[in-house]
């Protein structure tokens, strides 16, 4: 399978955040967005699944822990196809226009998540995921991927308590994946390491249990360096 391609004509910078549920992606993405806006960059943030109205419908099917009971057990292949339906829509509706417009696009999960969760977690294999990425996303990969990998048990503890809190406070049930076994998550974790090994120039990995502020500073240093290397200075 050929490696990632990047749209050579795009003026913006595409950054994805990856990691297990509870690894701190959403927290760090928000902090990075704030810092880059303060530096004078135009910033677009989105998450997958769910970066568009269509994607939000798909998200509620995929993340609601009642879906398998309501709809019949969702086949792993159908789950993968829905992830890519969401991704294709957000590419066309949000990511590509944002990059063409010179924005920094911060995306909470992208195709590496499909390779880790459906490819390894569900056992569908990387080749099938990467073939869909080629067919539906023109192989477009981020310029930079921030991979957050605290220990497995730490990430899952954080994600499960956050989801319980959201369920109590807002009635939002997004527990379908968090109910998966520790073995499932161990496969996801190992696949992320494999993806990082294979794409060492794209992924920057943050392992361990650093504080939110420490990790925030490290990420900002990496991103500012990449923006400077791309000749992108903000306009404060
Ligand atoms: P993700 O988007 O990867 O699922 P979140 O950013 O939602 O993760 O974080 C999950 C929970 O863990 C939140 O309650 C968040 O405040 C907390 N958290 C995030 N990063 C850290 C960290 N470095 N140390 C301790 N707690 C953290
Ligand atoms: P989300 O709440 O956005 O992530 P997190 O819990 O890390 O904050 O949930 C998205 C869930 O969907 C998460 O469990 C990972 C899963 N997922 C896949 O399985 N494949 C994919 O391609 C994507 C984008 C997400």
* 122 part of a folded domain: yes
Would 194 be classed as within a structural domain?
A: yes
In a domain, 41, yes or no: yes
Please report whether residue 8 resides in a domain: no
- 53-63 vs 76-90: helix crossing angle, rounded to 10: 160
| Tally of domains in the chain | 1
Question: By percentage, how much of the chain surpasses pLDDT 70?
Answer: 94
Give the bridge partners for 107, in sequence order.
Answer: 16, 46
In this prediction, residues 127-156 reach a mean pLDDT of: 96
Interval between CA 32 and ligand 2 midpoint (Å): 20
Q: Which atom number of ligand 2 is nearest to the Cα of residue 84?
A: 22
Q: What is the pLDDT of residue 3?
A: 44
Asked if residue 9 belongs to a domain, the reply is: no
Ligand 2 pocket member 174 (CB < 6 A): yes
Instruction: Name which residue leads in pLDDT, 216 or 172.
Output: 216
Task: Enter the pTM of the model.
Answer: 0.94
Could you report the per-residue pLDDT of 26-59, keeping only the tens digit for each? 999 999 999 999 999 999 999 999 999 999 999 9
Which pLDDT value is given to residue 69?
Answer: 82
pLDDT digits (tens, 9 = 90+) for 56-107: 999 999 998 888 888 889 999 999 999 999 999 999 999 999 999 999 999 9
How many percent of the chain have pLDDT more than 90? Answer: 75
* 59 close to ligand 2 (CB < 6 Angstrom): no
CA 114 to ligand 2: nearest atom: 22
Instruction: Classify residue 223: in a domain, yes or no.
Output: yes
- For residues 163-178, give the mean pLDDT: 77
The span from the CA of 220 to the CA of 226, in Å, is 10
Whether residue 185 is contained in a domain is answered as yes
Q: Distance (Å, rounded) from C-alpha 195 to C-alpha 165? A: 32
Report the pLDDT averaged over residues 17-31: 96
Is the pLDDT assigned to residue 196 strictly greater than 50? yes
Q: Give the pLDDT of residue 6.
A: 55
What residue owns the CA closest to ligand 1's atom 11?
Answer: 158
Which bound ligand lies closest to the C-alpha atom of 217?
1
Higher pLDDT residue, 9 or 65? 65
Ligand 2 centroid – CA 109 distance (Å)? 7
pLDDT at residue number 101: 94
pLDDT recorded at residue 83: 98
Q: Domain range spanning residue 49?
A: 17-229
DSSP annotation string for the chain: ----B--TT--SEEEEEEESTTSSHHHHHHHHHHHHHHTT--EEEEESS-SSHHHHHHHHHHH-TTHHHHHSPPPHHHHHHHHHHHHHHHIIIIIHHHHHTTPEEEEE--HHHHIIIIIIISS--HHHHHHHHHHHHTTB--SEEEEEE--HHHHHHHHHHHHHHHHHHH-----TTTTS-HHHHHHHHHHHHHHHHHTTTTEEEEES---HHHHHHHHHHHHHHHHHHTT-----
With a cut of 60, say whether residue 7 has pLDDT above it.
no
Whether residue 74 lies inside any domain: the answer is yes
Sign, CA torsion 55/59/60/66: positive
The CATH number assigned to the domain holding 29 equals 3.40.50.300
- pLDDT score, position 10: 59
Measured from the CB, is residue 163 less than 6 Å from ligand 2? no
21 lines ligand 2 (CB under 6 A): yes
What is the atom index within ligand 2 of the atom nearest the CA of 19?
Answer: 7
Side by side, which strands form the sheet with 13-19? 43-47, 104-108, 13-19, 144-149, 203-207
């Amino acid at each position: 399978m050929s490696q990632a391609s990047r749209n050579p004509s795009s003026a913006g910078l595409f950054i994805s955040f990856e990691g297990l549920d509870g690894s701190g992606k959403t927290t760090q993405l928000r902090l990075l967005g704030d810092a880059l806006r303060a530096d004078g960059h135009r910033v677009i943030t989105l998450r997958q699944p769910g970066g568009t109205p269509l994607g939000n419908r798909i998200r509620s099917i995929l993340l609601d822990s009642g879906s398998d009971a309501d709809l019949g057990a969702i086949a792993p292949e159908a789950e993968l196809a829905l992830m890519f339906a969401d991704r294709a829509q957000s590419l066309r509706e949000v990511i590509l226009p944002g990059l063409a417009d010179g924005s920094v696009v911060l995306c909470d999960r992208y195709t590496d998540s499909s390779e880790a969760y459906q490819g390894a977690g569900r056992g569908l294999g990387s080749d099938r995921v990467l073939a869909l990425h080629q067919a539906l996303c023109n192989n477009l990969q981020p310029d930079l991927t921030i991979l957050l990998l605290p220990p497995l048990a730490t990430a899952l503890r954080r994600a499960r308590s956050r989801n319980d809190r959201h369920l109590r406070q807002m009635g939002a049930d997004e527990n379908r994946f968090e109910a998966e076994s520790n073995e499932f998550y161990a496969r996801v974790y190992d696949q992320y390491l494999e993806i990082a090994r294979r794409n060492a120039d794209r992924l920057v990995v943050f392992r361990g249990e650093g504080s939110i502020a420490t990790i925030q500073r490290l990420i900002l240093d990496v991103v500012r360096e990449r923006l400077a290397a791309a000749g992108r200075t903000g306009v404060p």
